[in-house]
Every structure is written in C-alpha cells, then in structure tokens.
Amino acid sequence: MSKETNAQLSRREREIMDVIYRMGRATAAEVLDQLADPPGYSAVRALLRVLEEKGHLRHEEDGQRYVFLPTVPLERARQSALRQLLHTFFDGSTEQAVAALLDLSSTRLSDAE
C-alpha cells in the first residue's frame, strides 16, 4: 500500500476499513450490517472492490461469497495513519501533537510526568 493511496480514502472507505479491521475479515453483507446509515448492498460491493484495487484489501473465496481481509496489519495501518496526521496537522512534530492531546485531556500532568 503506497503512502498516496493511504491518504486517499473517502469517509465511507475509512468506515469500511474500520469494520474489517474490527471484525478481522468480513463479507459485503457483514460490512453492510455494521455501517451506520449504510448505502445499498451494490454500493458496498463497489467500495470493497475499490479498496481492493487501492491495495487496502484482498479477498478469499468462500463458496460463492468473497470474504475481504486487510492487506496491512492493524498496527502498521495505525502507524501510517498517525504519520499522516502528524504531517497534515502538526508539520511532522510529535511534540506539537502530544501538546494538543494534553490540552484535550482533563487530567493535568505533574512537572515530573
């Protein structure tokens, strides 16, 4: 999966990837059942095909069904997403990102922490 394709997921594609990572593997019908405000079945199948073409998913045949699996382990996908977030919103600065997270936190750290 290239850096470019990782950054080019639509909101719905990200939702589908979240479902598949959460379930580990899923058919189009299973993905459809898990989506909030789901599109039609054919739209989900089309999005799964697009995600496969982009290199995010692969499929295995289970009888007449396709079962979709992520091509990248979850931890590696998380790291890639974090790198993209750091680059996009914090100019690559881990320190700025941590400071922003601490600002969101209701718990205050001591000077030692």
Q: How many domains does the chain have?
A: 2
- Cα separation of 103 and 80, whole Å? 24
pLDDT at 109: 62
pLDDT at 97: 87
39 within domain boundaries? yes
112 within domain boundaries? no
Range of the domain at 58: 3-70
Cross-strand bridge partners of residue 61:
66
Q: What residue type is 67 in one-letter code?
A: V
The answer to whether residues 49 and 25 belong to one domain is yes
pLDDT at 68: 98
pLDDT at 55: 95
The answer to whether residues 56 and 7 belong to one domain is yes
The answer to whether residues 92 and 40 belong to one domain is no
pLDDT at 5: 43
The answer to whether residues 79 and 65 belong to one domain is no
Measured CA to CA in angstroms, residue 95 lies from 23, 25, 76, 82, 109 at distances of: 33, 36, 21, 13, 15
Cross-strand bridge partners of residue 67:
60
pTM for the whole structure: 0.72
pLDDT at 2: 44
pLDDT at 102: 83
pLDDT tens string, the chain, 113 residues long: the values are 444 444 578 999 999 999 999 999 999 999 999 999 999 999 999 999 999 999 999 999 999 999 999 999 888 888 888 888 899 999 989 898 888 888 887 666 666 76
